[in-house]
Structure 1
Amino acid sequence: MTDPGFRAMSVEEYLRTEEKSPVKREYAAGFVYPLHAQAGASRRHSAVAGHIFATLHPHARKQGCRLHLADMRLRMDEHNAFYYPDVMLVCDTETGSDLAETAPGLLVEILSPSTAQIDRVGKWAMYTALPSLQTYTDSA
């Protein structure tokens, strides 16, 4: 039996199957990575992300921005990738879709021992190349 986790697929197949998937999956360069393969969120991770979201929420609403907490995909066509940042702020009203944002101004990743290398190396390089991005932070 093959591992249902890390397998190659097209962007179209990823998007079609993500809707029906029982777990969130990230997509990078043709491969799908189930988020359950990484450590689940700890109480601390959840609290930090929640505090950041709660602090930003009233300001985002006042400015007409969209603020997402871990459940909205970030689509990066230039890197052939989709990720689920822990917190994402988007103030560009002309971009994105109901299924994925494309022009975040702020991205936050809460680090854990199992995700720190991926977040600090792979995702950092892709995130900081986004023309819209004004701030990226990772928090341990």
Structure 2
Amino acid sequence: MSALPSSPLVSVEEYLAGEAVAEQKHEYVGGMIYMMAGGRNRHHRIATNAVATLHAGLRGQRCAAFNSDTKVRVRSTPKTRFYYPDAMVVCEPNPEDDVFQDQPVVIVEVLSESTRRVDEGEKRDAYLTIPSLRVLLLVEPERPRVSVDRRGSDGGFERSWREGEDAVVALPELGSELPLRELYAA
């Protein structure tokens, strides 16, 4: 993600109004606007599989899966931020007319070479400050490997990895799971 040249700080309201008519998606970090890089087909396939698998596991529950067209607002850092995660699950959604969510329980980001540094650094750090977040998944695009940040009973996050086609990310928070075989299916 790269900042628009010579951009003055923009208010949240100005960002949301501009984003409503923008042809490309932009993320917002404390008044700065960053154009999002386009993803490759593999990235989109994995992200779509994540949304579909999460959605299927949520049937009959009050939670809902959202795709990368829905922003998440992060207000728990010093700077308000809006990101477009590849997938997320929300159990206490914002009003239907809103264009973002505030209380994700699960967030999925599919990594790419152009966004890896930001996704694994600044964005991960920001996501982990969201009070409602229970699980953050960072998905490798080239091989079946997922980083799992899970909130423990002490409120802190513990990191682990699931690797290989037969691996499964258990999601007891949702009464569900995310098999890597389904995540990486062609």
Does the TM-score normalized on the shorter chain lie above 0.5? yes
Q: 2:11 corresponds to which residue?
A: 10
Write out per-residue CA displacement over residues 75-122 of structure 1, whole angstroms, 9 at most, x where no aligned residue.
1123310000000100124x4652110000000100001000000000
Q: Which amino acid aligns with 1:106?
A: V
Matched with 1:28 is 29
- In structure 1, distance between residues paired with 2:16 and 2:51: 26
- Please state which structure has a larger fraction of its residues in helix: 1
In the other structure, the counterpart of 1:57 is 55
Distance 1:114 1:78 in 2: 26
Number of aligned residue pairs: give it: 133
Counterparts in 2 of 1:42-121, with a 5 A limit? 42-79=40-77, 80-93=80-93, 95=94, 98-121=98-121
- Name the aligned partner's letter for residue 47 of structure 1: R
What whole-Å deviation, never above 9, does each CA across 1:31-71 have from its counterpart, x for those lacking one? Answer: 00011xx2x21111011111111111122232121211100
- Which amino acid in 1 is paired with 2:13? E
Q: Which runs of 5+ in 1 are unaligned?
A: none
- Identify unmatched segments of 5+ residues in structure 2: 141-186
The AA in structure 2 aligned to 1:14 is: Y
Helix, strand or coil for the counterpart of 1:19?
helix
Structure 1 residue ranges, 4+ long, deviating more than 3 angstroms after superposition: none
Residue 62 of structure 1 aligns to a residue whose secondary structure is coil
Considering fraction of residues, name the structure with more strand. Answer: 2
**Aligned amino acid, residue 13 of structure 1:** E
> Structure 1 vs Structure 2: percent identity of aligned residues?
35
Equivalent-residue separation in structure 2 for 1:96 and 1:78 (angstroms): 20
Residues 114-129 of structure 1 correspond to what in structure 2 (within 5 A)? 114-129=114-129
The CA distance in 2 between the partners of 1:69 and 1:131, in whole Å, is: 21
